[in-house]
Amino acid sequence: MNEFTEEQIKRYSRHIILQEVGGEGQQKLLSSKVLCIGAGGLGSPIIQYLAAAGVGTIGIVDDDVVELSNLQRQVIHGGNSGIPKVESAKYFVKKLNPDVDVITHNERINPDNISDIINDYDIVVDGSDNFATRYLVNDACVLGKKPLSHGSIFRFEGYVTTILPDEGPCYRCLFEHAPPAGMVPSCQEAGVIGVLPGIIGVIQATEVVKYLLGLGDLLVGRMIYYDALNMSFDEIKIRKNPSCPVCGQNSKIKSIKYENYQDTQLCTY
């Protein structure tokens, strides 16, 4: 086990004194690799808190640039309008915690590159904002046996669930097919209260840290639903669907290469 520097002992002291974490747990975090799909509203708190916790390698996938309209909720980007989000996020992380290695993927995720991208990481966190990308990420993670934290927000509501392939239901068990085009408005069309992605993203980051440390009960087979207007949290049970096309007993999706994931643009709230 590597020795901590004096600066690291001070930086991670609140983790180290936790009996459930300790020095060994902090070393696990420092040696872990997490991939964040999106550096927008959800990606911002996810990246921020994983970096602060000392997750040693954070990969960030996003092909967008920072715009002024992002800054109401995408809090890691500061005044970096006009530059790629992955570069803005990397700059933020390196200022926050120089221990963290940031790998930037300034590209649109698609069926041709996703398997290679997720392969090197311990867990994937999905912060995307369109159905095609969500299904693509889910299917690639299930087929690749890669743990996945999924979060979604809409106006004043959001939810989080954790997907462990072979242990619980996946995104398609919950929503087998995307709704018809135009039925669900995008963030740009419907709006979102600025603090909402912070709450949902922090829950996702919490699940990731718990997974990496092997602590507590994950949201496997469960969904936490949050209503900001009523300030309420509800837990919804999710069952594995035996007929799920990707993780069911007679799954139809054997490879993402042969699926039609239309419009996998990486919108990020």
**pLDDT tens per residue, range 201-250:** 999 999 999 999 999 999 999 999 999 999 999 999 999 999 999 999 98
Q: Which residue has the higher pLDDT, 41 or 181?
A: 41
Mean pLDDT of the chain: 92
258: confidence class by pLDDT, cuts 50, 70, 90: low
Asked whether the predicted pLDDT for residue 265 surpasses 90, the reply is no
Are 75 and 48 in contact by the 8 Å Cβ rule? The answer is yes
Asked whether the predicted pLDDT for residue 46 surpasses 60, the reply is yes
Task: Assign domain 22-237 to a CATH class.
Answer: alpha beta
Q: Can you read off the two tokens belonging to residue 166?
A: 């072979």
Are 156 and 193 in contact by the 8 Å Cβ rule? The answer is yes
Cβ-count burial of 217 within 10 angstroms (0-12 exposed, 13-18 middle, 19+ buried)?
Answer: exposed
Q: Which residue has the higher pLDDT, 2 or 153?
A: 153
For 132-142, what is each residue's pLDDT tens digit? 999 999 999 99
What pLDDT does residue 267 have? Answer: 46
Asked whether the predicted pLDDT for residue 143 surpasses 50, the reply is yes
Q: Which of 36, 141, 170, 187 is catalytic?
A: 187
Determine how many CB atoms are found less than 10 A away from the CB of residue 50. 26
Q: Which residue in 56, 11, 1, 49 sits closest to 32, CA to CA?
A: 56
Asked whether the predicted pLDDT for residue 266 surpasses 90, the reply is no
Asked whether the predicted pLDDT for residue 264 surpasses 60, the reply is no
What pLDDT does residue 243 have? Answer: 94
Apex CA 126: angle with CA 108 and CA 40, to 5°?
A: 70
For range 69-98, the mean pLDDT: 95
Residues 6 or more apart whose CB falls under 8 angstroms from that of 184 comprise: 131, 154
Give the predicted TM-score (pTM) of the model. Answer: 0.93
Question: Percent of the chain, pLDDT > 90?
Answer: 82
Determine how many CB atoms are found less than 10 A away from the CB of residue 221. 17
Whether residue 141 lies in the annotated active site: no
Q: Is 132 left (phi over 0), alpha (psi -120 to 50) or beta?
A: alpha
Pairing of strands 157-163, 148-154: antiparallel
Distance CA 154, CA 184 (A): 10
